């Protein structure tokens, strides 16, 4: 090494620092305003999640000549923990010397920034950094994090659920990835989750323009998981879907390709398979059973249900393409004497959410009965 070369080395020495404090030696202390996150940070670092979270390479970066990108990723992780939503509001985090060193900036850079009264990195640099991470790089890091959870057995049980969400963008509609459906602009997000109680984990996602079908996006997720972790049906035993995924050919195709069982609601009551199910369920020999359940909107209830096997499934040309099993469920109050009002469930879907919430909140505040609130929702002029 030439005589002109100069460098500085900082090492982590917790025991040495503790001894220096006990012996009264001069020490320099940096306190963090976010000490409540220490436990979470320690968990992320020791578990290996921190390495994965900070590994999203900015693959759109042409040349590394600025701030270290792993440290910038670390800042993003810390920002999430501090619940700072907007880049322009991160000043307190960016000026926290201890957090910046945890993120990956060296002590000299942190000291110089503090002496200059500036953050280690400015918000514009962070914004540019995020724009240089491609969806492919983000998906790769997400897949690695799912792999880590599987290795550590943090994902348990074989029941999964897929759900689609619309993300509507009311302004800034120039992005080339925005989709349009009617008058709405935005994106469609499909999530695949393991739904083991109290151990829910996201294992797959796809974000696409709004007009894309959730059925197609789910197939993309399943194909990606199979490429990374092997046959999906070996560890995913049951997949729960909402009625937006309905389609006999689609459901049977997923079952044949991957092997898991699928559970979903029939798309509407006019389907041939629904009429067959209702007819068979009404037969005298059908065995019914009761279950106690708690509904997110209706509260505690008793549910009377019966199952029917080997129901013919039809395609769009009304040709039989396979067989499915079906379940009929009737919701009652806890006494098992009165049916829950069907119109309530229909109104939840058909009425706009804001007016529904306002009407229910107002009615409950005045001790109004559910029947009266339903009347007001059906006939606003009667309010």
Measured CA to CA, the distance from residue 100 to residue 244 in angstroms comes to 45
Cα dihedral 27, 33, 39, 45 sign? negative
Contact 293, 303 (CB under 8 A): yes
Number of residues that this document lists for the chain: 383
The reply to whether 10 falls in a domain is no
Question: Are residues 333 and 248 part of one domain?
Answer: no
Checking if the pLDDT of 368 tops 80, the result is no
Ranking 104-108, 113-117, 236-240, 361-365 by mean pLDDT, the lowest is: 361-365
Shared domain for 333 and 371, answered yes or no, is no
- 143 against 62, higher pLDDT: 143
Q: Assess contact for 155 and 192: CB atoms under 8 A.
A: no
Verify that 325 and 354 share a domain, yes or no.
Answer: no
Task: Kindly indicate the confidence band of residue 36, based on its pLDDT and cuts at 50, 70 and 90.
Answer: low
H runs (alpha helix) in the chain: 14-22, 38-47, 49-53, 69-81, 91-94, 97-103, 107-115, 123-131, 135-151, 214-229, 248-258, 272-281, 342-350, 353-365, 370-378
Residues 181 and 246 in one domain: yes
Question: Is residue 10 scored above 60 in pLDDT?
Answer: no
Q: Is residue 297 domain-shared with residue 199, that is, in the same domain?
A: no
Does the pLDDT of residue 347 top 60, yes or no? no
Does the residue 307 lie in any domain? yes
Q: Does position 112 have pLDDT exceeding 50, yes or no?
A: yes
Is residue 309 included in any domain, yes or no?
A: yes
Q: Which of 131, 166, 197 represents a domain boundary (last residue)? A: 131
The SS3 call for residue 294 is strand
pLDDT at 245: 83
Residue 102 pLDDT > 50, yes or no?
A: yes
143 in any annotated domain: no
For residue 87, the 8-state DSSP code is: G
Per-residue pLDDT, 11 = 62
Band (pLDDT 50/70/90 cuts) for residue 268 is: low
Most confidently modeled range among 78-87, 99-108, 216-225, 329-338: 216-225
Asked if the model's pLDDT at residue 232 lies above 90, the reply is yes
111 and 199 together in one domain: no
Measure Cα distances from 118 to 121, 206, 241, 291, 349 in Å. Answer: 8, 38, 50, 62, 51
pLDDT confidence tier of residue 353, bands split at 50, 70 and 90:
very low
Query: What is the model's pLDDT at position 9?
Result: 52
28 pLDDT exceeds 70? no
Instruction: Indicate the pLDDT class of residue 97, thresholds 50, 70 and 90.
Output: confident
- The residue ranking higher by pLDDT, 136 or 383, is 136
In a domain, 97, yes or no: yes
Looking at 235, 265, 295, the residue that finishes a domain is: 265
Q: Are residues 118 and 42 in the same domain?
A: yes
Residue 354 confidence (pLDDT) above 50: no
Shared domain for 286 and 307, answered yes or no, is: yes
Quick one: what percent of the chain has pLDDT higher than 90?
17
Q: Is residue 149 part of a domain?
A: no
- Nearest Cα neighbor of 100 from 88, 113, 87, 89 is 113
Q: Which domain holds residue 39?
A: 15-131
Mean pLDDT on 231-246: 88
pLDDT tops 60 at residue 24: yes
Whether the pLDDT of residue 219 is over 90: the answer is yes
Tell whether 122 is covered by a domain: yes
Q: How many CB atoms lie within 10 A of CB 252?
A: 17
Q: Which of 212, 210, 214, 197 is nearest to 163 (CA)?
A: 214
| Alpha-carbon span 136 to 143, nearest angstrom | 11
Distances in whole angstroms, Cα of residue 228 to Cα of each of 43, 194, 203, 236: 25, 17, 12, 14
Name the residue with higher pLDDT: 297 or 186.
186
Residues 116 and 218 in one domain: no
pLDDT for position 350: 35
**Alpha-carbon gap, residue 162 to 182, rounded angstroms:** 24
- Please report whether residue 151 resides in a domain: no
Predicted confidence band of residue 352 (pLDDT cuts 50, 70, 90): very low
Tell how far CA 230 is from the center of its chain. 23
Is the confidence at residue 380, as pLDDT, over 70?
Answer: no
Confidence band (pLDDT; 50, 70, 90) for 312? confident
Q: What are phi and psi of 381, to 5 degrees?
A: -70, -15
Q: How many domains does the chain have?
A: 4
- The CATH number given to whatever domain includes residue 163 is 3.30.420
Listed residues 265, 296, 313: the one ending a domain: 265
**In the chain, what's the furthest Cα-to-Cα distance?**
97
Report if pTM > 0.75. Answer: no
Whole-number average pLDDT of the chain:
77
Mean pLDDT of the 42-63 span: 86
Per DSSP, the residues of 146-177 read: HHHHHHTT-S-SSEEEEEEEEEE--S-TT-TT
What mean pLDDT comes out for the span 245-257? Answer: 86
pLDDT tens digits, one per residue of 271-295: 667 777 777 777 788 888 888 888 7
DSSP assignments along 169-210, one per residue: --S-TT-TT-EEETTEEEEEEEEEEE--TT--EEEEEEEEET
* DSSP H helices in 285-369: 342-350, 353-365
pLDDT of residue 284: 81
pLDDT of residue 83: 73
pLDDT at 151 over 70: yes
Q: Answer yes or no: do 25 and 125 share one domain.
A: yes
Least confident of 215-219, 298-302, 327-331, 364-368: 364-368
Instruction: Scan for tokens 């796809």, then name that residue.
Output: 206
Q: Cα–Cα distance between 190 and 218 in angstroms, integer?
A: 7
Query: Of 182, 184, 189, which Cα lies nearest the Cα of 208?
Result: 189
Do 41 and 126 fall into the same domain? yes
Mean pLDDT on 17-21: 76
Same domain for 258 and 182? Answer: yes
Give percent helix, percent strand, percent coil of the chain, each to the nearest 5.
Answer: 45, 20, 35
Structure tokens at 124: 């514009």
């Amino acid at each position: 090494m030439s005589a002109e070369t100069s460098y500085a080395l900082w090492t982590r020495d917790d025991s040495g620092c503790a001894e220096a404090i006990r012996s009264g030696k001069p020490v320099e202390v940096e306190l963090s305003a976010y000490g409540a996150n220490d436990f979470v940070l320690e968990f992320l670092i020791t578990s290996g999640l921190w390495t994965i979270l900070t590994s999203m390479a900015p693959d759109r970066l042409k040349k590394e000549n600025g701030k270290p990108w792993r440290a910038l990723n670390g800042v993003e992780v810390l920002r999430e923990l501090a619940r700072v939503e907007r880049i322009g509001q991160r000043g307190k985090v960016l000026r926290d010397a201890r957090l910046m060193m945890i993120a990956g900036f060296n002590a000299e850079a942190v000291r110089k920034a503090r002496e200059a009264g500036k953050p280690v990195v400015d918000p514009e640099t962070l914004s540019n950094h995020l724009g240089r991470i491609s969806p492919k790089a983000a998906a790769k890091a997400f897949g690695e994090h799912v792999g880590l959870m599987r290795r550590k057995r943090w994902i348990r049980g074989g029941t999964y659920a897929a759900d689609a969400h619309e993300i509507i963008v009311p302004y800034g509609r120039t992005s080339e990835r925005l989709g349009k459906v009617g008058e709405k602009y935005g994106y469609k997000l499909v999530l695949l989750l393991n739904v083991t109680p109290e151990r829910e984990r996201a294992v797959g996602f796809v974000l696409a323009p709004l007009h894309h079908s959730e059925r197609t996006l789910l197939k993309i997720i399943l194909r990606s998981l199979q490429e990374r972790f092997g046959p999906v049906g070996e560890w995913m035993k049951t997949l729960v879907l909402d009625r937006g995924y309905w389609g006999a050919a689609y459901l049977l195709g997923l079952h044949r390709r991957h092997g898991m069982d699928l559970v979903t609601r029939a798309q509407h009551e006019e389907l041939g398979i629904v009429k067959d199910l209702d007819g068979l369920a009404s037969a005298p020999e059908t065995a019914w059973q009761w279950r106690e359940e708690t509904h997110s909107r209706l509260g505690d209830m008793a549910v009377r249900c019966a199952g029917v096997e080997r129901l013919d499934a039809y395609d769009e040309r009304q040709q039989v393409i396979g067989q499915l099993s079906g379940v009929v469920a009737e919701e009652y109050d806890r006494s098992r004497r009165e049916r829950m009002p069907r119109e309530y469930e229909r109104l939840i879907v058909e009425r706009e959410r804001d007016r529904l919430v306002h009407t229910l909140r107002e009615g409950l505040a005045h001790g109004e009965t559910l029947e009266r609130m339903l009347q007001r929702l059906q006939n606003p002029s009667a309010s």
